[in-house]
Amino acid sequence: MGDSILGQATKRATRQATDLFDKMFLVGTLFTLDKLLNGLAAASEEFKEELKEHYIAVQLKTRDNKVGRLVYFRNGECSGKDGIFDEEADVSMVFEDINCARRVMMGQMLGKEEVFVSAAKNGSLWLIGPDEQAMWFSSLLLKVFAFDVLYLHRYGTKMPNGEMRYVTGTNGGPVFVYVKDGKIIRVTPMDFEEGDATPWSITAHGMTFSPPKRTTATAYALGWKSLVYSPDRVLYPMKRIDWDPNGERHPENRGISDYERISWEEAFTIVANEIIRVRQTHGPGSVFWSRGSHHLWGNMGYFTSAANRFFNCIGASSVLNNPDSWEGFAWGATHHYGGAARRGGVEPYSTVEDCMQNSEMIVFWSSDPESTAGVYAAQEGTIRREWVKRLGIPVVHIDPYFNSTAAFMGGRWIAPRPATDAAMALAIAHVWLVEGTYNKDFVEKRTIGLDKWAAYILGDDEDQTPKTPEWQEPITGVPARVVRALAQTWGRKKTYLAAGGLPSFGSAGRTAYGTEWARAMVCLQAMQGFGLPGVNFGGLQYGTPLDSHFWFPGYAEGGFSGDYIGSGSGVQVYNRMPQSPSLNSETQQLPRLRLPEAIIEGHAEVNNMSNYSVVGQFGKVKYPAPGHSEVKMYYKYGGSYLGTQPNSSRFVKMYQVDKLETVVSQAIWMEGETRFADIILPACTNFERWDIGEFANCGGYIDKSYLQNNHRVIFAQHKCIEPLGESKSDFDIFQGVANKLGLWQAFSEGNSLYDWTRRHYSATRMNSIMSWRAFLKKGYYVVPPLPESRRDPVAMSWFAKGIKKDTPELPPLPSEYYGRYNEGLSTPSGKFEFEAQTLKRFDPNDKERMPICTYIPSWEGTASELYEKYKLQLISPHAKYSFHTMGDSKDSFINDINEHRKLIEGYHFWIFRINPADAEIRGLQQNDLIEVYNDRGSVICALDVTERIPKGMAHSFESCADYRPIGTPGKSAEMNGCINNLTPDRFITKNAHGLAVNSCLVEVRKWEGDFGKWKSC
């Protein structure tokens, strides 16, 4: 009883004290706002100019009208008076009560935005008034908290010579950016300081290896200055001259007609009006947005962040991407051993150390990490592959092209014809079965169904054909004795298999029935017992002994999107970074590989790729979706299909149909499909805006992808220079359109890109390591590796041992286990299934993807009819010197790399490679200009005659950035190297939405025609 009275008295006293404090605080801070703003204006001319932008009065008050102050903004001067003057106010900021006001303001000051977000979500905080004015006032308040950074430019490191050293991230590694007088001077890889973390070391065969204290970079990282200052930058908003939103639209002239400069106000108005018109006229789904598979580096700017949030706000159809890098693994391998979250990819943990210590041979099969950098990992793996050279572990490379990894590492190069890899793999299994050189104990305990596969391989089934090394010789072109020798050695030695560059990518997986290659890869290693010491997947690219427990998000984790369905946000970011949720209420999707057909013909149907479950991929996605409209407006946000998508001149036809009433392109450079837009919104690069990121950390479908690095480097992405011309950050462009749609708070919560960057930082473990301001000054942090005793267990070793999974990986989802959770694989049997139960249940008679892995001849290969006309088998793997289209063309430095393009007659031509014997037959010589052609198109290239490719095959990288038809777009030869004008658009296998561009027949002849209008790239 006494306690209760005392308790009540105490509570009352506390409440009174709190109220008093809140009131004083409010009077002391918010209500002296005018004085504070005047003070800041005195310190910064730039800020003073911003204060002049609006001539308004703002009422700050509590909802009960008990406390209030009116603040006047008059020509850059602020003044105020206490009290409630609603009739005078243009904008009102209303707090539920004084306590709420105090908590929100304190929260903002201390970087605890959850208070603000909660108040807004719970209806305890309102901003009332015309959008533009309300937004202006709100952003002004936020700028107060960032004044030292935004207006006094207190970030980065000042160098002795007066240059500022900033940091940013690229797809080819983080870089230091030296700036003087607002201009980028240089871009370099990062050398760490003495106080930065000491790197890990690995001891193997009596030698100790440790990586140098620096980051590596690629050409497409170091060429960035030339991309920022490219003459092809779009510097102003533009409108196609013969496109009139109120009159004739002339879709047939997309890609042909010129542009006129318009203002941002016009651009935002047109785009917003079109979004409303199209959606009100045609209904849901009528606005469609697409993106590339990559973006400029940074968690805030990546498409998973700002773009997801923006298009979720307006409601739009989205693109259904095929898993292009994983293709064979996603549609094939995953059925044997689960792992849908990694799209059939392998676990990476501690495999670098295991490989160096225990393996006796490494087979790189369709694996060229020296070119692909795994993904995003610059040349970190190069350091480790040099160690392997020193360790003397024998290496074999299987690839039609003598790739850069083979050239650097040495070892035997085996060059099967494209799309025949599965035949070679079957022959290897044949040798093992006949000679008994596989791990019978592992097969018995950890796998099922080898008998079914063995029957096919040995010829004991209806096929009656033993898949011997001799059987594969006429198929692959590789001598039987070479395959037999490889099989016998592999059967004897503990072998690491790098299937693909990451691994689990690989151009062999992008061939006709490339599923069978990827399936063969995992089946072979299952026969040898993957997860046992020295037997696993990897080529020193992925699985370094870094700290995988220090959480910092990758871009796939959604940035500030709040999209816990359309990104990886739901796993960690959403619950650590308070924000309002954002979801797309429109479910319509357009399959990327059938995008032209969907838009032109009005329908498409493909298999879905699920990240959640293996069997999810059997489901279909239909366009149009029920109750949705066909697409009428296309808002293109990055990505260059003309350079990257199969049979890509289809896209020209798509752009020119009148069904597409409006095409918007948000683009940095005038290249490729930018020229097919009606409205061009010029975006700036990430050197010109704020962001934050980690080296090679994408998260999501490549969980802990930073384990490709020698160091975990988390970095600020400083705004190094002002945006060029009138270009704006993607964020600000979206904000501009959102404002016109009344979505300003829905899109950004009124926060700027800088604000979100800081909020993102606060949500991560970095917040407990160093202050935001200290982080902004230094620009990066190197996460120390854990001591040797705390390194992660080796990937899949838990499976080999038959214990519970002990690698630090959350997926697969619990429901993906059919037996006990976390015991065994996410296959129906929990074991490795040589005969995949999921495929058997789906369709046991799908000849294009049987429950067991088989060899299926390509529809476009030496045995096909087309071969009569086109005698060269072309592969076009991921480019080495550009990151897909990023870095190519645009007058960049990269064009001067004579392995990327060749300078002939004043133009940098794309390179096409054939063997000297093939050149001789055709009367062609080194550096000839040639026309590469087939029924799908014609591309002019520079010829490289080289022993890097055997006779009968040809190599050219994919992903030329600009599309330059010498005549009518889509109907004439292309001269900038869009090799994908030639590649087939048929799916990898019929029940998959996957591409097979590396099954492509072409012919070449000397080019002697003219070129038309183009200047050099």
Partner 1 sequence: MEKLLMIVDLAKCVGCFNCLMACKDEHVDNRWLPYTDSQQKHGQKWIDPTRHERGKAPYTDLCFVTRMCQHCDEPHCQKAFPGAVDKRGDGIVLIDPNYAKGNRELVDSCPYGMISWNEELNTAQKCTMCAHLLDSAWTEPRCVQACPLRALSVIKADEETIEQIIEDQCLKPLTDGSNKPRVLYKNLERYTNNFIAGALTYMDGKIEMAAAGAGVRLTLNGTDLLETETDFFGEFKLDHLPDDSGTFQIFFTLDGYKPLETEVTIEKESVCLEPLQFVKK
Interface with partner 1, residue 179, by CB under 8 A: no
How many helices and strands in the chain, by DSSP H and E? Answer: 34, 38
Interface with partner 1, residue 304, by CB under 8 A: no
CB of 211 to partner 1, least distance (A): 11
363 strand-pairing partners: 396, 497
CB of 525 to partner 1, least distance (A): 19
455 or 485: CB nearest partner 1: 485
Which member of 26, 149, 187, 313 binds partner 1 (CB under 8 A)?
187
Show the tokens assigned to 484.
Answer: 């037999």
CB 851 within 8 A of CB 519: no
Which member of 23, 165, 309, 484 binds partner 1 (CB under 8 A)?
484
Which part of the chain contacts partner 1 (CB under 8 A), choosing from 234-242, 407-415, 698-706, 860-868? Answer: 407-415
CB of 61 to partner 1, least distance (A): 54
Interface with partner 1, residue 544, by CB under 8 A: no
Whether 421 sits among the annotated catalytic residues: the reply is: no
CB of 412 to partner 1, least distance (A): 6
Which member of 408, 612, 821, 1014 binds partner 1 (CB under 8 A)?
408
DSSP string, 914-956: E-HHHHHHTT--TT-EEEEEETTEEEEEEEEE-TTS-TTEEE-
Contact positions with partner 1 (CB under 8 A) in 875-934: 881, 891, 893-900, 903, 908, 915
702 strand-pairing partners: 699
With H, G, I as helix, E, B as strand and everything else as coil, classify residue 777: helix
Which part of the chain contacts partner 1 (CB under 8 A), choosing from 53-61, 153-161, 565-573, 764-772? Answer: 153-161
Interface with partner 1, residue 507, by CB under 8 A: no
Which member of 278, 457, 949, 975 binds partner 1 (CB under 8 A)?
949
Whether 993 sits among the annotated catalytic residues: the reply is: no
Which member of 63, 112, 186, 1005 binds partner 1 (CB under 8 A)?
186
Which member of 54, 412, 653, 777 binds partner 1 (CB under 8 A)?
412
Interface with partner 1, residue 436, by CB under 8 A: no
Interface with partner 1, residue 189, by CB under 8 A: yes
**Cα–Cα separations (whole angstroms), residue 217 to 293, 378, 738:** 21, 5, 37
**CA-to-CA distance for 422 and 574, rounded, in angstroms?**
42
446 or 948: CB nearest partner 1: 948
Interface with partner 1, residue 488, by CB under 8 A: yes
CB of 973 to partner 1, least distance (A): 24
Interface with partner 1, residue 191, by CB under 8 A: yes
The runs of H, that is alpha helices, within 153-236 are 219-222, 224-228
Which member of 253, 489, 822, 927 binds partner 1 (CB under 8 A)?
489
CB of 899 to partner 1, least distance (A): 7
CB of 321 to partner 1, least distance (A): 29
Show the tokens assigned to 385.
Answer: 């592959």
383 or 836: CB nearest partner 1: 383
CB of 662 to partner 1, least distance (A): 37
Interface with partner 1, residue 161, by CB under 8 A: yes
Strands 395-398, 412-414: pairing is parallel
Interface with partner 1, residue 988, by CB under 8 A: no
CB of 108 to partner 1, least distance (A): 40
CB 322 within 8 A of CB 609: yes
Show the tokens assigned to 179.
Answer: 């700036």
Sequence-distant (6+) residues with CB within 8 A of 251 are 655, 656, 657, 658, 660, 661
Which member of 382, 507, 647, 980 binds partner 1 (CB under 8 A)?
382
Interface with partner 1, residue 340, by CB under 8 A: no
Show the tokens assigned to 42.
Answer: 């005195």
Which part of the chain contacts partner 1 (CB under 8 A), choosing from 316-324, 331-339, 341-349, 408-416? Answer: 408-416
Strands 953-955, 872-875: pairing is parallel
The full 3-state SS of 681-701, as one line of letters, equals EEECCCCCCCEEEECCCCECC
Cis peptide before 323 (omega within 30 of 0): no
**CA-to-CA distance for 915 and 868, rounded, in angstroms?**
19
**CA-to-CA distance for 433 and 435, rounded, in angstroms?**
6
Q: Packing angle between helix 131-145 and helix 98-110, nearest 10 degrees? A: 60
Which member of 320, 383, 606, 825 binds partner 1 (CB under 8 A)?
383
Show the tokens assigned to 868.
Answer: 């009569």
Which member of 66, 74, 81, 481 binds partner 1 (CB under 8 A)?
481
Show the tokens assigned to 753.
Answer: 């890109």
- DSSP summary character for residue 566: T
Sign of CA dihedral 147, 152, 153, 155: negative
**CA-to-CA distance for 66 and 82, rounded, in angstroms?**
11
384 or 759: CB nearest partner 1: 384
Interface with partner 1, residue 188, by CB under 8 A: yes
How far out from the chain centre does Cα 191 lie?
A: 26
Interface with partner 1, residue 71, by CB under 8 A: no
942 strand-pairing partners: 911, 929
CB of 471 to partner 1, least distance (A): 12
How far out from the chain centre does Cα 922 lie?
A: 41
**CA-to-CA distance for 304 and 291, rounded, in angstroms?**
10
CB 998 within 8 A of CB 514: yes
Which candidate in 166, 376, 456, 555 is catalytic? 555
- DSSP summary character for residue 200: P
Interface with partner 1, residue 347, by CB under 8 A: no
Separation of first and last alpha carbons in the chain? 86
CB of 383 to partner 1, least distance (A): 7
Site string for partner 1, 207-226 (x = CB under 8 A): ---------xxxx--xx-xx
Interface with partner 1, residue 685, by CB under 8 A: no
**CA-to-CA distance for 887 and 170, rounded, in angstroms?**
11
Which part of the chain contacts partner 1 (CB under 8 A), choosing from 307-315, 351-359, 948-956, 968-976? Answer: 948-956
DSSP string, 362-403: EEEES--HHHH-TTT-TTHHHHHHHHHHHHT--EEEE-SS--
601 or 899: CB nearest partner 1: 899
**CA-to-CA distance for 22 and 102, rounded, in angstroms?**
6
Interface with partner 1, residue 276, by CB under 8 A: no
Contact positions with partner 1 (CB under 8 A) in 809-848: none
Strands 679-682, 662-667: pairing is parallel
171 or 729: CB nearest partner 1: 171
Contact positions with partner 1 (CB under 8 A) in 746-785: none
CB of 903 to partner 1, least distance (A): 7
**CA-to-CA distance for 993 and 322, rounded, in angstroms?**
6
Interface with partner 1, residue 394, by CB under 8 A: yes
Whether 634 sits among the annotated catalytic residues: the reply is: no
Which candidate in 151, 220, 294, 944 is catalytic? 294
Contact positions with partner 1 (CB under 8 A) in 439-478: 470
| Size of the chain, expressed as the number of residues it contains | 1017
**Cα–Cα separations (whole angstroms), residue 518 to 521, 610, 992:** 5, 18, 14
Which candidate in 90, 196, 324, 421 is catalytic? 324
811 or 887: CB nearest partner 1: 887
Sign of CA dihedral 526, 531, 535, 541: positive
- Name the amino acid, one letter, at 972: S
CB of 824 to partner 1, least distance (A): 35
Q: Which residues are catalytic?
A: 294, 324, 555
Please give the residue ranges that form the binding site for partner 1 (CB under 8 A): 159-161, 185-189, 191, 216-219, 222-223, 225-226, 229, 370, 378-379, 382-383, 386, 394, 402, 404, 407-408, 410, 412-415, 470, 479-482, 484-486, 488-489, 881, 891, 893-900, 903, 908, 915, 946-951, 1016
